[in-house]
Amino acid sequence: MAQNAPAKPGSRNLRRVLAPLALAQFICSFAGSNMNVMISDMSEDLDTTVQGIQIAITLFLLVMAALMIPGGKLTDKYGRKRFFMLGLIVYAVGAVLSALSPGLWLLILGNSILEGIGTAMLIPPVYILTTLLFTDLTSRARAFGVISAMGGVGAAAGPLIGGLITSAISWRAAFIFQALVIAVIVLLSRKIIDPLPPDPARQFDTLGAILSALGLVLVVAGILAADNNLLLMVILILTGVVVLALFFISVRAKEKAGREPLLSTSLFRNRTSNLGLVTQNTQWVLLLGTSFVVSAFLQVVRGYDAIQTGIIFTAATAGILISSLAAERLAMRYPQRTLILAGFVVTIAGVAVLLLMVTGSQTAWSFAPGLLLIGLGLGVMLTPSVNVVQSSFSESQQGEISGLSRSVSNLGSSLGTAIAGTILVAGITATPERAYGLAMIALAVVGLIGLVAAVMLPANIPTVATQEVQQPES
C-alpha cells in the first residue's frame, strides 16, 4: 500500500509527476491561441473566411468550457489518471483529424469538438491531482505556479510557435506537433499514481451536464451572431440564460431531494472563491481576446504572414516568462490579493498602450510595449488567482471546484475571442482602425471588471509562506 502513497512534496518523484501535468496545460493553452496566426493561411487553404476560422477557434474554447464541469465530476467516478489518459487519446485523434481536414467542417470536428472534449477530460485531473499530491501549501503554490505559467506561456507562445511551423512547413504541421507533444505526455504520465481510488457508484447528473453545456453554447453562439443578425443574437443569448436558469433550478431540486447534482451550490457561497473565479475569467478574456484581435489585425489589415505575426507576440511571451519566473518569490513575499491587483493594473496599462500606440503608427514594433506589459501583468496574477480558488475548498470538493475553475477560465477564453473578435471582424474590412480600437476598448472594460473583483478580495489573504505557517496540523 505504501507504494501508492503520494511522494513527499519536493521529492524527485513528485517533480516527475508535475512535468506531464504542466506540459498538458501548456499544449491545451497553445491550442487555444496558435491558430490565430494561421487565419490567412487556413481561410485560403480551406476556402473559408476569417469569421469561419474565428468560429472554429471559439467553438474549441467553448466546448472546453461547457464540458469542464462534467469532466471534473467524472474524474471522481472513473479515476483521475484514467480520465487524464483517455482525454489525451481523444485530443490526439482530434489533432490528427485537424491536420488532415480538407475543409472547415472536418476542422471543426477535429479541432473544435474532439480536441475540445479531450481538453475538458484531461485538464480537471491536472488540477485535482496537483491539489491531492502537493499536500502542503508552499509546494502546492509552487506546483500551481509551474502549471499556470505553462498555461500562460502556451497561450502567449502559441502564435510564435504556430507561426514558425506554418511558415516553415504548413499550418497542418502545427496539429501534428500537438499530437507529438501528446505522445510525449503519455510516456511521461506512466509515473503518475492516483492518490484516491475511483468511485464507480458515484452519481452523475446527466440532465445538469446537458443543461449547463447547452446554456453556455447558446450564450456564446449569440455573441458570435452579433455581426450578422442582431435579432438572432438576442434570441440565442436569452435562450441560453433561460437554459442556465433551468440548470440551477435542477441543481437546487436535486440537493433538496438528497441527490448529488452536477455542481453543488455550496461552491458559490465562498465569497473569496467567487471573486477569484471572476479574476480568472477576466484574465483569460484579456489574454485570448488580445491574441485574436492583434493577430487578425496584423494579418488581414497590415498584411503580415504567420511568422511575422508570431515574432511580434514574443513580447507577450517574454512578459509572461519573466513574471512567471518571479512568481514563486513574489508569492512568498506579498499577499495574493496584492499580486492580483498589481497584475490587473499592469495588464490594463498594456491594453491602453496597445490602443494608443498602434492606432497612430504603422510600425510592427508599436505592438511590443503593450504586449510586454500584458504578458507581465498576466504572469503575475495567473497563479495567485488559481491558488485562491483551489485552496478555498477541501479535498472532497476538488473535483467540483477544479471543473468549475477550469470552466470559468476557458469560458473567459471563448468569450475573449467571441466578443473582441466579433467587434473586430464586423468592421475589419470597412473601418479597420476603428474596429481595432473598439475591440481593445472592450478588452479594457473587461480588465476594469477584473480589477474591481480584485479590489473586493479580502485584504487579509496572506502570502503563501504565512498560509503555510498558519496551516493547522491534520
Question: How would you write the pLDDT of the chain (474 residues) with one tens digit per residue?
Answer: 333 444 444 456 677 888 899 999 899 888 877 887 888 889 889 988 888 887 888 888 788 878 887 887 888 888 889 999 999 999 999 999 999 999 999 999 999 999 999 998 988 888 888 878 877 666 776 787 788 778 877 877 888 888 889 888 999 999 999 999 999 999 998 888 888 888 887 888 889 889 988 998 888 888 777 666 778 888 999 999 999 999 999 989 998 888 888 878 888 888 888 999 999 999 989 988 888 888 888 888 888 877 888 888 888 888 888 887 777 677 778 888 899 999 999 999 999 998 887 766 677 778 889 999 999 999 888 878 887 887 777 766 666 776 677 778 877 877 777 788 778 777 766 677 788 888 889 999 999 999 999 999 987 765 554 444 344 332
Residue 474 placed within a domain: no
CA angle at 151 for the pair 149 and 153, rounded to the nearest 5°: 65
Residue 1 placed within a domain: no
Q: Are residues 272 and 171 in the same domain?
A: yes
Q: Are residues 147 and 222 in the same domain?
A: no
Residue 450 placed within a domain: yes
pLDDT at 10: 47
Q: Are residues 138 and 43 in the same domain?
A: yes
pLDDT at 4: 42
Q: Which of 261, 283, 301 is the last residue of a domain?
A: 261
pTM of the model: 0.76
Q: Give whole-number Cα distances, 286 to 182, 279, 456, in Å.
A: 27, 11, 20
Q: Which of 213, 231, 261 is the last residue of a domain?
A: 261
Q: Are residues 140 and 222 in the same domain?
A: no
Q: Are residues 396 and 322 in the same domain?
A: yes
Q: Which of 243, 261, 279 is the last residue of a domain?
A: 261
Q: How far apart are the first and last CA of the chain?
A: 21
Q: Are residues 234 and 329 in the same domain?
A: no
Residue 424 placed within a domain: yes
pLDDT at 174: 93
Residue 5 placed within a domain: no
pLDDT at 429: 64
What is the residue-wise DSSP string for 140-195? HHHHHHHHHHHHHHHHHHHHHHHHHHHHHT-HHHHHHHHHHHHHHHHHHGGG---S
Structural domains of the chain, count: 2
Residue 99 placed within a domain: yes
pLDDT at 471: 42
pLDDT at 277: 92
Q: Are residues 36 and 86 in the same domain?
A: yes
Q: Are residues 242 and 106 in the same domain?
A: no
Q: Are residues 443 and 370 in the same domain?
A: yes
The number of angstroms, rounded, from the C-alpha of 143 to the middle of its chain's C-alpha atoms is 17
Q: Are residues 297 and 159 in the same domain?
A: yes
Q: Are residues 323 and 342 in the same domain?
A: yes
Q: Are residues 288 and 336 in the same domain?
A: yes
pLDDT at 430: 66
Give the Cα separation of 10 and 296 in Å (integer).
Answer: 43
The CATH number linked to 21 is 1.20.1250.20
Backbone CA torsion sign across 379, 385, 388, 391 = negative
Give the Cα separation of 102 and 98 in Å (integer).
Answer: 9
* Domain carrying residue 222: 205-261
